Amino acid sequence: MTFLDMLRDATARNHSLLCVGLDPEPAKFPTHWRGDASKIFDFCAAMVDATADVVCAFKPQIAYFAAHGAEAQLEKLMAHMRSVAPQVPVILDSKRGDIGSTAEQYAKEAFERYGADAVTLSPFMGLDSVLPYLQYEGKGAFLLCRTSNPGGDDFQAQTLANVPGQPTLFEHIAQLAQGPWNTNGQLGLVVGATRPQEIERVRAVAPTLPLLIPGVGAQGGDAVATVQAAQGGPMVINSSRAILYASAGMDFATAARAVALETRIALNHAALQA
């Protein structure tokens, strides 16, 4: 199955638009594991086990593993997800952005070493920074398009005077991803949940692409506004901290599942209203 096939299947099977972001911070672990980076796999595996039937995707963020020298734990986690939730696609959040042989190595890392189904990328260096990932048949790639951070305005919101229609940079990225860049049919876009009006603009330009939308929950993104803005095409709505750190006690996995279920219900309710 291609990444998009897996995403559609998991969305329907689990009745979910929710993606759980796996951003392990040992300093925030439950009290009995607090500060112990050797428990990164155990913590994340518990999150996967607790939510595998509630989500449409998982999204491990590679920096949270690499910062603690926990790449081997990430490899183990990827194998665990394949074992217990083979129907759920895994998006490796690495935001790579390089060219040539370096991009080829990053693609190999994502798809061969870790076995991810999709990856996040920065498109700033152009199409040749994206193509090495699209050489992997059926694998997905989400291009950073309109991010929630204040500094996103520095480039993404700028108008391109030399492009027909004078779109903003983020709209132009969406146009390219919807059109000539999507050589394997598996491209998607990253758009922050705190900017629902701009999610609407991206959806208008890219009606069929999956939108990976971080920021619901602890970052302040509104679930209803997000779903309504992204309606009409596939969406993957990510929540990390609100789920991962729902409890600091021995019930941390049970508490995480409860928040994930609540979030799934809220997203599905919003979809019905859209």
pLDDT band at residue 41, thresholds of 50, 70 and 90? Answer: very high
**What DSSP assignment string belongs to 80-132?**
HHHHH-TTS-BEEEEEE---HHHHHHHHHIIIIIS--SEEEE--TT-GGGTHH
Q: What pLDDT shows up at residue 217?
A: 60
Average pLDDT over the chain reads: 95
Rounded mean pLDDT, 207-219: 85
101 burial class (0-12, 13-18, 19+ CB within 10 angstroms)?
Answer: exposed
How far apart CA 14 and CA 25 sit, in angstroms, is 27
How far apart CA 245 and CA 39 sit, in angstroms, is 15
Q: pLDDT of 65-95, one tens digit each?
A: 999 999 999 999 999 999 999 999 999 999 9
| pLDDT(5) > 80 | yes
Q: pLDDT of 99-153, one tens digit each?
A: 999 999 999 999 999 999 999 999 999 999 999 999 999 999 999 999 988 899 8
Q: Of 166, 225, 224, 160, nearest to 197 (Cα)?
A: 225
Residue count of the chain, please give it.
Answer: 274
Q: Which of 57-61, 111-115, 155-159 has the lowest mean pLDDT?
A: 155-159
Positions marked catalytic: 95
pLDDT band at residue 219, thresholds of 50, 70 and 90? Answer: low
Question: Which residues lie across from 21 on neighbouring strands?
Answer: 59
pLDDT band at residue 40, thresholds of 50, 70 and 90? Answer: very high
Q: What pLDDT shows up at residue 50?
A: 98
Q: pLDDT of 164-193, one tens digit each?
A: 999 999 999 999 999 999 999 999 999 998
Which domain range does residue 198 map to?
3-273
Q: Rounded to two decimals, what is the model's pTM?
A: 0.96
Q: Of 235, 240, 229, nearest to 7 (Cα)?
A: 235
222 burial class (0-12, 13-18, 19+ CB within 10 angstroms)?
Answer: middle
The H or E element containing residue 21 is strand 18-22
Percentage of residues in the chain having pLDDT higher than 90? 90
Name the pairing type of β-strands 91-96 and 211-213: unpaired
Residue with tokens 């859209």: 274
Report the number of distinct structural domains present in the chain: 1
How far apart CA 169 and CA 157 sit, in angstroms, is 6
Q: Residue 113 maps to which CATH number?
A: 3.20.20.70
pLDDT band at residue 194, thresholds of 50, 70 and 90? Answer: confident
Asked if 107 contacts 136 with a C-beta cutoff of 8 angstroms, the reply is yes
